[in-house]
């Protein structure tokens, strides 16, 4: 299945959970007891947190998709001709080499949203998901500036 189908399925599942949890939370609140009211509040807070987390991740993905599409249009996406492991991952030495090149580019221009995006891709290929997400967040932040692809 492609990624969009999974997003729709997961958002639908979270939506169903929210409705069911909301019904239960309201029933607890309506129970007339202090313990029931406390449980009702807890049951209603958890779905609200879930909505926020899902919204945040979907928004993150859509913004990265816009940045990636913009880079593809201007021909600045890295060419994916890296050697791969049998499982399909970029071989670590090649990923580390790519990362080193992209890091130098970002150090030369720390305000380049495209550079941060490419650095995030390189971090991901080098198997550092945490730093990849940080670099992508920085790319999004910079892309929101005037002239960037996310400027509104």
Q: What is the per-residue pLDDT across 80-116, written as a single tens digit (0 to 9) for each?
A: 889 999 999 999 999 999 999 999 999 999 999 999 9
pLDDT at 71 over 70: yes
Helix (H) or strand (E) holding 43: helix 34-74
pLDDT at 6 over 70: yes
pLDDT at 2 over 70: yes
CB 107 within 8 A of CB 31: no
Q: What's the CATH number of domain 78-152, 1.25.40.10, 1.20.1370.20, 2.60.20.30, 3.30.390.30? A: 1.25.40.10
Residue spans per domain, the chain: 3-62, 78-152
Q: Percent of the chain at pLDDT above 70?
A: 99
Mean pLDDT of 30-36: 93
The pLDDT of residue 1 is: 65
The pLDDT of residue 56 is: 94
């Amino acid at each position: 299945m492609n990624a969009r189908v999974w997003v729709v399925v997961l958002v639908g599942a979270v939506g169903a959970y929210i409705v069911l949890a909301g019904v239960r939370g309201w029933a607890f609140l309506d129970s007339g007891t202090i313990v029931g009211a406390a449980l009702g509040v807890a049951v209603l807070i958890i779905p609200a947190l879930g909505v926020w987390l899902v919204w945040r991740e979907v928004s993150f993905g859509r913004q990265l998709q816009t940045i990636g599409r913009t880079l593809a249009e201007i021909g600045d996406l890295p060419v994916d001709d890296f050697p791969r492991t049998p499982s399909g991952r970029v071989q670590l030495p090649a990923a580390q080499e790519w990362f080193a090149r992209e890091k130098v580019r970002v150090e030369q221009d720390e305000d380049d949203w495209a550079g941060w995006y490419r650095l995030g891709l390189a971090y991901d290929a080098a198997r550092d998901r945490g730093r990849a997400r940080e670099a992508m967040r920085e790319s999004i932040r910079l892309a929101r500036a005037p002239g960037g692809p996310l400027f509104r």
